[in-house]
C-alpha cells in the first residue's frame, strides 16, 4: 500500500504541478567559481536555514573552480521531476510525500556512496521507513530533530519538580504544577497541526510500536478494517483514551491560542511545559532570550526502560537518477562536501538537531541536551500521523476527537478511510 501511495500520489501531484509556473527559482550565494565552472542547482527546503546554506554554498564555491553551486530559494520537487529538470543535489524534509519520490525510483542510489559508511545504521534504517525502491538507498539521512516536552527549568526548580520518565510520574508533575496554580501544559490548538503533534503523535503514538504497526497495516493491503490483525480501532484505542487524560492540564484558552502566541506565552512563564520540537525555541527565545529551557521525551508508559523519543528526519540528502555528465558529477561533488562532518555538525548544532554520523558529537546546548541518549542511542521513532496519507483528513478527525469526540468513532473513520484508499489504489 505504501508503494501504491507513492506512485499514485506522485503521478497525481505531477499532473497538477506541471501547470505551475516555472519561474520559481531565485538564485543566491553564487560567489566563486571561474567563468568556465559548470552551474549546479541546489535546493534546501527549510526556509529558516537560508543564511546557513548561503554561507555553505559561498564557502564551497570559493574552494574550487569546477562547479558553481547556485542555491534555489524556492523549488517544487514534483514539478521539477515532471519537467525532468530536478536539482542535481538537494536537502529535503522527510515525510510520506518524499517517500513517494523514493518509491518511484527517481532518486539516485546512494548505496555505493562512501559517505554512507559514516552514517549510523539506525539513521539509514530510519530513512527507509516510508518505503524503498528495489535494494537502493535513495537518500542520505542528514539531520534528526528530537522532539518532546519543552520545559521551563526555572519553574521546575521553583516547585521542586523532577524530569519524569514514566506516565505516572508525568501526571504527578502536572498535578504538582496545577496545585501551585501554574499551568502545566501550553496548548496552541488554533493551529491544528500542534494538536496532531502533541496529542496524536506524542501522547497516542508514544504508547505504541509505531513503525511495526504501520508495517503490518501496509502488509494487509485491502484486508484492513476494525477486526483485522492490526487496526486503528484495536491498537490506537487505549493510547488515545490515555491521551485525553492530559487535556485538563492544558491552558483553559488552548482552543483560542495559536502556535506563535503559545511560544510567547511559554517564554513569559505562563506554562511549565510545551509539547513541541526544537523549532519552537526560535519564537520562545526571540520573546525571552534568557529563557532557561530543556526537553525530555513524553513518557506514555510506566516502563522507563521503554522510553523513546518521537523524532523526525529533519533533512535527507539526495541526487536525481536522471542527472548525467557535469550535472551528475557536480551534484555528487557538492553532496560529498555537504556530508563532511564539520559541515553537517555545524548545521545540526545551530538548529538544535542531531547529526546522523557514527561519530556525531553530543548536543551541548541545554535546550536539547537531555535528548542525547535517545537520539544518539537510536531510541527514537517517527510520529504516527506522518505515516497517514494526506488523502485521509487526519487533522479534522484529531481535532474532532480531542474536542470531545468518541474514540471508537475516531478510530473507525481512520480504519474506513485507510481501507477505502487501499481498495482504490489496488484497482
Total count of domains within the chain: 2
State percent of the chain over pLDDT 70: 91
Distances (CA, A) of 214 to 16, 166, 221, 284: 29, 25, 11, 34
Evaluate whether 126 touches 249 at the Cβ level (below 8 Å). no
Q: Mean pLDDT for the chain?
A: 89
Question: How many Å apart are CA 34 and CA 66, to the nearest integer?
Answer: 8
Residue with cell 476527537: 401
| Cβ-proximal residues to 270 (8 Å cutoff; 6+ apart), any chain | 183, 186, 251
78 or 54, greater pLDDT? 54
Are residue 261 and residue 352 in the same domain, yes or no? no
Q: How confident is the model at residue 132 (pLDDT cuts 50, 70, 90)?
A: confident
379 CB burial (10 A radius; 0-12, 13-18, 19+): middle
Question: How many Å apart are CA 125 and CA 305, to the nearest integer?
Answer: 22
Q: Residues 369-377: what's their mean pLDDT? A: 94
Here the CATH number for the domain that contains residue 364 is 3.40.190.10
- Give helix 96-104 / helix 2-17 axis angle, nearest 10°: 90
Whether 15 has a pLDDT exceeding 60, the answer reads no
Are residue 141 and residue 171 in the same domain, yes or no? no
Q: What angle do CA 229, 232, 233 make, to 5 degrees?
A: 85
Are residue 303 and residue 368 in the same domain, yes or no? no
> Phi/psi zone of residue 19: left (φ > 0), alpha (ψ -120 to 50 degrees), beta?
alpha
Whether 22 has a pLDDT exceeding 90, the answer reads no
**Residue 282: what pLDDT?**
93
Are residue 218 and residue 329 in the same domain, yes or no? no
389 or 400, greater pLDDT? 400
State percent of the chain over pLDDT 90: 74
Q: Residues 102-130: what's their mean pLDDT? A: 92
Question: How many Å apart are CA 306 and CA 167, to the nearest integer?
Answer: 11
Q: What confidence tens digit (pLDDT) does each residue in 318-357 have?
A: 999 999 999 999 999 999 999 999 999 999 999 999 999 9
Are residue 301 and residue 319 in the same domain, yes or no? no
CA dihedral (144, 145, 148, 151) in degrees, to 10, reads 130
Question: How many Å apart are CA 77 and CA 230, to the nearest integer?
Answer: 34
Q: How confident is the model at residue 35 (pLDDT cuts 50, 70, 90)?
A: low
Q: What confidence tens digit (pLDDT) does each residue in 70-81 have?
A: 998 766 777 788
Whether 312 has a pLDDT exceeding 90, the answer reads no
**Residue 75: what pLDDT?**
66
Q: Residues 376-396: what's their mean pLDDT? A: 91
Are residue 200 and residue 317 in the same domain, yes or no? no
Q: Which residues pair with 28 in a beta bridge?
A: 71
Distances (CA, A) of 311 to 18, 201, 210, 355: 33, 10, 12, 13
Are residue 281 and residue 399 in the same domain, yes or no? yes
Which domain does 216 fall in, by range?
148-310+385-426
Q: What confidence tens digit (pLDDT) does each residue in 161-180 have?
A: 999 999 999 999 999 999 99
Are residue 91 and residue 154 in the same domain, yes or no? no
Are residue 274 and residue 396 in the same domain, yes or no? yes
Are residue 187 and residue 279 in the same domain, yes or no? yes
Which strands form 148-152's sheet, in the order they lie side by side? 273-276, 148-152, 293-296
Are residue 220 and residue 283 in the same domain, yes or no? yes
Q: Residues 40-62: what's their mean pLDDT? A: 90
**Residue 49: what pLDDT?**
83
**Residue 129: what pLDDT?**
83
Q: How confident is the model at residue 12 (pLDDT cuts 50, 70, 90)?
A: very low
Question: How many Å apart are CA 272 and CA 293, to the nearest integer?
Answer: 10
Q: What is the pTM of this model?
A: 0.87
Are residue 182 and residue 53 in the same domain, yes or no? no
**Short-list 305, 297, 93, CA closest to 206:** 297
Q: What confidence tens digit (pLDDT) does each residue in 238-282 have?
A: 999 999 999 999 999 999 999 999 999 999 999 999 999 999 999
Evaluate whether 52 touches 81 at the Cβ level (below 8 Å). no
Whether 194 has a pLDDT exceeding 60, the answer reads yes
Lowest mean pLDDT among 199-213, 223-237, 398-412: 199-213
Which three three-digit cell numbers place residue 147? 522532539
Amino acid at each position: 500500500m505504501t508503494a501504491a501511495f507513492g506512485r499514485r500520489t506522485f503521478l497525481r501531484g505531477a499532473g497538477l504541478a506541471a501547470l505551475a509556473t516555472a519561474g520559481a527559482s531565485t538564485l543566491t550565494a553564487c560567489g566563486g567559481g571561474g567563468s568556465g565552472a559548470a552551474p549546479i542547482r541546489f535546493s534546501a527546503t527549510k526556509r529558516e536555514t537560508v543564511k546557513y546554506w548561503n554561507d555553505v554554498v559561498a564557502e564551497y564555491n570559493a574552494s574550487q573552480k569546477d562547479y558553481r553551486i547556485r542555491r534555489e530559494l524556492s523549488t517544487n520537487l514534483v514539478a521539477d521531476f515532471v519537467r525532468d529538470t530536478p536539482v542535481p543535489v538537494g536537502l529535503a524534509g522527510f515525510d510520506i510525500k518524499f517517500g513517494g519520490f523514493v518509491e518511484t525510483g527517481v532518486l539516485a542510489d546512494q548505496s555505493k556512496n562512501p559517505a554512507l559508511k559514516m552514517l549510523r545504521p539506525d539513521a539509514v534504517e530510519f530513512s527507509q521507513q516510508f518505503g524503498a525502491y528495489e535494494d537502493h538507498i535513495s537518500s542520505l539521512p542528514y539531520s534528526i530533530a528530537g522532539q518532546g516536552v519543552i520545559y521551563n527549568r526555572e519553574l521546575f526548580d521553583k516547585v521542586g519538580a523532577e524530569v519524569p520518565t514514566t506516565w505516572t510520574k508525568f501526571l504527578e508533575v502536572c498535578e504538582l504544577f496545577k496545585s501551585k496554580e501554574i499551568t502545566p501544559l501550553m496548548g496552541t490548538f488554533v493551529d491544528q497541526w500542534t494538536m496532531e503533534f502533541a496529542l496524536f503523535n506524542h501522547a497516542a503514538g508514544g504508547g505504541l510500536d509505531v513503525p511495526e504497526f504501520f508495517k503490518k497495516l501496509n502488509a494487509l493491503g485491502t484486508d484492513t478494517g476494525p477486526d483485522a490483525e492490526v487496526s486503528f480501532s484495536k491498537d490506537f484505542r487505549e493510547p488515545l483514551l490515555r491521551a485525553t487524560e492530559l487535556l485538563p492540564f492544558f491552558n483553559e484558552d488552548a482552543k483560542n491560542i495559536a502556535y506563535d502566541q503559545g511560544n510567547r506565552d511559554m517564554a513569559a512563564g505562563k506554562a511549565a511545559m510545551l509539547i513541541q520540537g526544537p523549532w519552537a525555541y526560535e519564537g520562545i527565545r526571540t520573546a525571552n532570550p534568557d529563557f532557561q529551557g530543556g526537553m525530555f521525551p513524553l513518557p506514555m508508559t510506566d516502563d522507563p526502560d521503554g522510553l523513546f523519543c518521537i523524532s523526525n528526519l529533519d533533512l535527507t540528502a539526495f541526487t536525481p537518477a536522471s542527472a548525467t555528465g557535469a550535472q551528475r558529477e557536480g551534484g555528487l561533488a557538492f553532496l560529498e562536501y555537504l556530508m563532511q562532518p564539520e559541515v553537517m555538525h555545524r548545521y545540526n548544532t545551530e538548529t538544535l538537531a542531531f547529526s546522523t554520523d557514527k561519530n556525531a558529537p553530543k548536543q551541548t546546548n541545554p535546550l536539547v541536551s537531555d535528548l542525547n541518549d535517545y537520539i544518539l542511542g537510536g531510541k527514537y521513532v517517527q510520529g504516527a500521523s506522518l505515516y497517514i496519507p494526506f488523502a485521509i483528513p487526519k487533522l479534522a478527525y484529531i481535532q474532532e476527537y480531542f474536542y470531545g469526540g468518541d474514540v471508537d468513532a475516531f478510530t473507525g473513520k481512520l480504519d474506513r478511510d485507510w481501507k477505502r484508499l487501499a481498495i482504490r489504489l489496488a484497482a
